A and B are shown apart, each in its own frame.
Chain A
């Protein structure tokens, strides 16, 4: 076996939860299901995104919109070297956006204006840009957004975009019968206990992916409580609490039965309702996991970080049900550091693979054995058509979510699918011209 300066794989026993792999040059595997900021920006109905950045960065966002068949909802301003040094950084932004608005014909209700790393490093006065634009076009809400991947250690692009997309909300009188789900990029499964509790309490649920009109989006400001379950939603929860005074409740998407019960208790306390007994739902999840194990048997299982927000917690759950989890594709543990520690101690031989290490370039050509994958990157790297195809939990949550994922694993095992067209589809769940 080749000895690498920067190995792409490590035993769980030897891995550090905070950073399992030495950083280095990065490889980009042909796996495109994860959403980017363009996909997210399209969630705000009727909004028109404008990106101001260099051509190399623009191209990816423009073609994201093109592949979504939504090119008419995005415009751009390209930056040149001169823009950085001739003192017109702000004025060219104002003039460029104004020109785009004039060409659009009708004014969109909201323009998320995305600035780049270059603007930040050049000291662009974004406040003045927004003030000037707002004065010119008082009927349009301009929201500062950021395509600043260089700053990703300060805040991830997804978390930042998720936060900014709610900044178009303006205070409304509180509606005691309304709550928000915050930070989701797709509707949450209606069978989940989370939604059943909310709907069972007779509450109105606002959720950005469910908004059909800009007016519905604005109505989110009336809610009495913001609920989130993805870690990328924290910044949005904090910002909304500060701007609109809406309290927050974080109920992480867990793969741990006790943790879920605790989530539901917290939710019901916040809503001041009695907590339902979800024993039947827990039993159904348990049964689904056992059935999946029965079908999948000793086949090796690989889990990756794009599929679920807590990959180590899902791996732990699967191990507890006897699944032969042998591979995990992830760089580090996030909120599931406890599960990471459990695996390290109880499943030390699980192999942890880096998603981006340069030595993963040919990994897909040397799949060690038949694998059932949970997630697109695991499917690619282990070259398997037996895989569960979704990203970021796929809208699944709770016992119902665990049951659904177990059933999807069973289905993936029994019904292989051609991974190539699925993995190259940019933005899982979005429309794509590649499919037509």
Chain B
């Protein structure tokens, strides 16, 4: 069955994606749930929780309120919390039980906004999907709400879209992507959404090009392309060669005004390598391996863009499907989170790359920063693939 797993974890859920995307923006997120979703997010999905406080709260839904359909309690509690905490905005989202009882989150958001006088929007999660869906909707909402029309286009200006600790678990990695951009002659306008405020994000429309570093940022990138004509480039600067290709692609897209996706490049010959992970991150790793003369393919168990999966890639999402694909592919090596070790074909080499959205805190001290040539050094330290 697709929904069954003997041993591997599931990925962080859509609610965690919402919370992670909005974490640093000064807003309040009210998750309508009994308790577990927020506790899980705070414990296992959010590395910032201990050191950076954010107004992420849970409604504490009870059986009585669920049975009676008492949305008023949630609305009143959110308005009261907002009065005490004074957030820049309020986001409401849901978990499985509100879905069961048919809570109308758009109406709830409108009520809260009316009472609190604070901009409130609904994000349509139900705890039954993976984090990129929630993060994607949240980043799109923020982009639509707060990015102003371009006052001027900054010729080398770039935004980073889709930067979440769930995908970039090493706290140095996103800052290093900024550094990499600067070294390649770009000026970072904003990073959506890590390390920058809403006021900074408001200026994102001035960029000449957007760098999309995860699927979570793709919807926002498409919106900025459609709305303001800002092209986007999909990929993460992993490895010396691919990073250079990505930088060139950014320059080219800024010139042409057309989106590009260098992370879809794949090697067609050489040893077979499987990369299990996020659409753009895993795709970028596969692309870099292709530059190294390896036939690397992505197994993406997460929400993804079909356009960013290439022939030979797989959208296997369950333990069983991943096992079957690996058995069929018979790769020489698999680059994947350490907790995939339980389902790899016997004897297959496993190059462990912890992914916070999968194994949470379990390998937090082994989270890698693979920006630029660090990827090559990391691969070499792990025995290389040549």
- Taking Cβ atoms with an 8 Å cutoff, the residues of A that contact B are 2, 4-6, 23-28, 30, 32, 53-60, 62-63, 66-67, 71-72, 75-81, 83-84, 92, 95-96, 99-100, 103-104, 116-118, 121-122, 147, 149-154, 356, 358-359, 361-362, 420, 424, 426, 433-434
Contact = CB atoms under 8 A, between A and B. Distances in A.
B63 A56 contact: no
Nearest to A149: B34
B128 A23 contact: no
A77 B1 contact: yes
B96 A104 contact: no
Contacts, number: 203
B339 interface: yes
A358 B31 CA distance: 13
Given A54-B127, A56-B16, A81 B4 contact: no
Contact of A26 (B4, B5, B57): B57
A358 B97 contact: no
A98 to B, nearest CB: 9
B362 A54 contact: no
B45 interface: yes
B13 A66 contact: no
A153 B63 CA distance: 7
B350 interface: no
19 contacts: A24-B60, A26-B58, A27-B57, A56-B40, A56-B96, A57-B40, A59-B13, A59-B44, A60-B40, A62-B10, A63-B359, A63-B360, A66-B360, A76-B5, A78-B4, A117-B66, A117-B97, A152-B34, A358-B57
Given A56-B40, A57-B96, A59-B9, A25 B1 contact: no
Contacts of B77: 23-25
B213 to A, nearest CB: 23
Interface in B24-63: 30, 33-40, 42-45, 49-50, 53, 55, 57-63
B346 interface: no
B357 to A, nearest CB: 10
Given A56-B37, A147-B36, A362 B53 contact: yes
A118 B49 CA distance: 28
Given A56-B40, A63-B44, A359-B84, A30 B66 contact: no
Interface in B290-337: none
Contacts of B7: 71-72, 75
A104 B44 CA distance: 26
A78 B129 CA distance: 10
Contact of A121 (B59, B100, B126, B128): B100
Contact of B128 (A4, A55, A99): A55
Interface in B97-139: 97, 99-101, 126-130
A222 to B, nearest CB: 34
A26 B128 contact: no
Given A56-B96, A75-B5, A426-B43, A28 B63 contact: no
B80 to A, nearest CB: 4
B230 interface: no
A24 B80 contact: yes
B41 to A, nearest CB: 8
B129 to A, nearest CB: 7
A104 B84 CA distance: 51
Contacts of A121: 66, 97, 100-101
A63 B3 contact: no
Given A60-B40, A121-B100, 9 more contacts: A25-B58, A26-B38, A60-B43, A63-B360, A78-B3, A79-B96, A81-B99, A149-B36, A361-B55
Contacts of B4: 75-78, 96, 99-100
Nearest to B58: A26
A150 B44 contact: no
Given A26-B35, A30-B49, A116-B96, A55 B129 contact: yes
B361 interface: yes
Residue of A24, A25, A60, A154 with most partner-chain B CB within 10 A: A25
Residue of B33, B63, B339 with most partner-chain A CB within 10 A: B63
B342 interface: yes
A53 B37 CA distance: 12
B379 to A, nearest CB: 25
Contacts of B58: 25-26, 28
